[in-house]
């Protein structure tokens, strides 16, 4: 959510930002907010005047009563009652206006960084840089579901009976490889100086509304029936929410946390749920990182954070690239974002395994997260980035380490987490 002062002072810039995101249907929100804001400020001045008048009359009443002028005092009391009735009506309208303004402000996109490429959708995202040589072996690399099945590691049929489409059982050595990646990601980030966290896996609606846009909420979140609770789609939601309403010490910034969690997503939209494999599912596990910092430090942290994910996947022998998200593919709260994509030797193309974003002060404004500096309190910047989300990360490791004889090499960095197992053998 942007600062309403910015909208008041430069509405044309806000409108231009909306146009660059190809969301022209939201242009009307700017004018509506300005109109409502004008009424709200006029009403606030009116209420202030009424309160001043009421205070002055109240003092008169005391003086009249002291002089024994009861009738005059009662007349003044009647004036006070009239003022109180007007105030009650005006204060009710003030609250209505406040809610109407907030509802519209939360739909207006955040101001993008000037470096964000302009494009209508993800087809116009821009490749930044490749890391590692994307190889295609002379032999065929099977579909990841077949690789896992040959390793006796996947049971979607039983998951269909227990939970429905979009769920799965991981079994045996594949399940262990999956958890080894998550454990390695944890230690990888701890070694980068991040504090390890296991957050709540459910959050209240006020936190949900603070960390994501309405569009993301509808497409992603599972609501707990009869409770003001949602299952998290990523540990970022809880970890940012941890600081809701807090005033942080400036000397404690930056705050860098890495969190583990299961993640739950409805995956509503045209892409749907993958019937056969594990690329798009309702439940997965993830190691995430977040940073809270000063606004002037956010781009330095942004570049550090995506580079950590690149380094992580390269240590698993997976070639990757970074893809700059264009304006039309940028979620409304984000200032700048890039995806980290892993090479698929089977498909001979890259696929998304992580996303890094800076949101400026949008989440902090919604959640009331500030830091106390020498010149007063200020909103912090928040950033988030995927270290690894599995089974997508698992797919990348399996495909890029698949051997012609059907075995899968375990990347060396994972050997300690696999009890020394160096190769996954297919079932007999």
Q: Which residues, listed in sequence order, are joined to residue 423 by a DSSP beta bridge?
A: 409
Asked whether residue 134 falls in the same domain as residue 251, the answer is yes
Is 223 part of any domain? yes
For position 59, what pLDDT does the model report?
A: 81
For position 80, what pLDDT does the model report?
A: 84
Asked whether residue 249 falls in the same domain as residue 366, the answer is yes
The string of pLDDT tens digits covering residues 128-170 is 999 999 999 999 999 999 999 999 999 999 999 999 988 999 9
Residue of 278, 288, 198 lying closest to 234 (CA atoms): 288
Residue of 136, 124, 133, 130 lying closest to 321 (CA atoms): 130
Mean of the per-residue pLDDT values for the chain? Answer: 93
How far is the CA of 27 from the CAs of 70, 163, 326, in angstroms? 58, 42, 20
Is 72 part of any domain? yes
Asked whether residue 329 falls in the same domain as residue 186, the answer is yes
Is 112 part of any domain? no
For residues 212 and 30, give the distance between their C-alpha atoms in angstroms, rounded to a whole number: 20
Contacts (Cβ under 8 Å, ≥6 apart) of 242: 199
For position 215, what pLDDT does the model report?
A: 72
User: Which range, of 3-7, 81-85, 311-315, averages the lowest pLDDT?
Assistant: 81-85
For residues 338 and 407, give the distance between their C-alpha atoms in angstroms, rounded to a whole number: 33
Asked whether residue 399 falls in the same domain as residue 340, the answer is yes
The string of pLDDT tens digits covering residues 166-212 is 899 999 999 999 999 999 999 999 999 999 999 999 999 999 999 98
The secondary element (H helix, E strand) that includes residue 248 is strand 247-249
Q: Is the model more confident about 293 or about 217? A: 293
The secondary element (H helix, E strand) that includes residue 79 is helix 70-105
Is 114 part of any domain? no
Is residue 273 pLDDT above 70, yes or no? no
How far is the CA of 165 from the CAs of 150, 156, 174, 175, in angstroms? 21, 8, 20, 19
Q: Which domain holds residue 54?
A: 4-105
pLDDT interval class at 271 (50, 70, 90): low
The string of pLDDT tens digits covering residues 60-98 is 887 878 788 888 888 888 888 888 888 888 888 989 999
Tell me the pTM. Answer: 0.90
Asked whether residue 85 falls in the same domain as residue 198, the answer is no
Asked whether residue 194 falls in the same domain as residue 51, the answer is no
For position 72, what pLDDT does the model report?
A: 83
Residue finishing a domain among 105, 138, 154? 105
pLDDT interval class at 268 (50, 70, 90): low
Residue of 229, 224, 223 lying closest to 241 (CA atoms): 229
Asked whether residue 161 falls in the same domain as residue 25, the answer is no
CATH of the domain at 63: 1.10.287.40
Asked whether residue 45 falls in the same domain as residue 157, the answer is no
CATH of the domain at 166: 3.30.930.10
- Token pair recorded at residue 423: 């190769």
What is the sign, positive or negative, of the torsion defined by CA atoms of 273, 275, 277, 281? Answer: positive
For position 85, what pLDDT does the model report?
A: 87
For residues 389 and 309, give the distance between their C-alpha atoms in angstroms, rounded to a whole number: 11
pLDDT interval class at 424 (50, 70, 90): very high
Terminal-residue alpha carbon distance, the chain: 57
Q: Is the model more confident about 311 or about 61? A: 311
């Amino acid at each position: 959510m942007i600062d309403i002062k910015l909208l008041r002072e430069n509405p044309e810039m806000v409108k231009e930002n909306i146009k660059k995101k190809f969301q022209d249907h939201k242009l009307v929100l700017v004018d509506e907010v300005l109109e409502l804001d004008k009424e709200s400020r006029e009403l606030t001045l009116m209420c202030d005047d009424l309160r001043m008048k009421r205070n002055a009359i109240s003092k008169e009443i005391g003086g009249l009563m002291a002089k024994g002028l009861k009738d005059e005092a009662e007349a003044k009391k009647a004036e006070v009652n009239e003022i109180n009735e007007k105030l009650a009506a005006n204060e009710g309208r003030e609250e209505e206006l406040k809610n109407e303004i907030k509802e519209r402000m939360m739909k207006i996109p955040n101001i993008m960084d000037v470096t964000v490429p302009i494009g209508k959708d993800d087809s116009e995202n821009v490749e930044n840089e490749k890391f590692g040589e994307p190889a295609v072996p002379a032999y065929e690399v099977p579909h990841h579901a077949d690789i896992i099945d040959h390793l006796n590691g996947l049971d979607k049929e039983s998951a269909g009976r227990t939970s429905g489409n979009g769920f799965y059982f991981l079994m045996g050595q594949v399940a262990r490889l999956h958890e080894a990646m998550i454990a390695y990601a944890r230690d990888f980030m701890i070694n980068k100086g991040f504090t390890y966290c296991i957050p709540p896996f459910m959050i209240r609606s006020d936190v949900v509304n603070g960390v994501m846009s309405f569009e993301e909420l509808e497409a992603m979140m599972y609501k707990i029936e009869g409770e003001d609770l949602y299952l998290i789609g990523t540990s970022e939601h809880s970890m940012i929410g941890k600081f809701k309403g807090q005033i942080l010490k400036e000397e404690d910034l930056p705050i860098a946390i890495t969190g583990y969690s299961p993640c739950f997503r409805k995956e509503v939209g045209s892409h749907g749920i993958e019937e056969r494999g594990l690329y798009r599912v309702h439940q997965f596990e993830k190691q995430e990182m977040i940073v809270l910092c000063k606004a002037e430090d956010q781009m330095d942290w942004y570049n550090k954070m995506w580079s950590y994910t690149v380094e992580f996947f390269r240590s698993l022998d997976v070639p990757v690239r970074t893809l700059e998200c264009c304006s039309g593919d940028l979620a409304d709260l984000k200032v700048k974002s890039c995806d980290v994509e892993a090479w698929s030797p089977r498909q001979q193309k890259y696929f998304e395994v992580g996303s890094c974003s800076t949101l400026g002060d949008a989440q902090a404004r919604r959640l009331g997260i500030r830091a106390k500096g020498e010149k007063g309190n200020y909103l912090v910047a928040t950033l988030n980035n995927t270290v690894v989300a599995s089974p997508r990360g698992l797919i990348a490791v399996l495909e890029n380490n698949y051997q012609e004889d059907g075995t899968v090499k375990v990347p060396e960095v994972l050997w300690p987490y696999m009890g020394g197992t160096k190769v996954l053998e297919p079932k007999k």
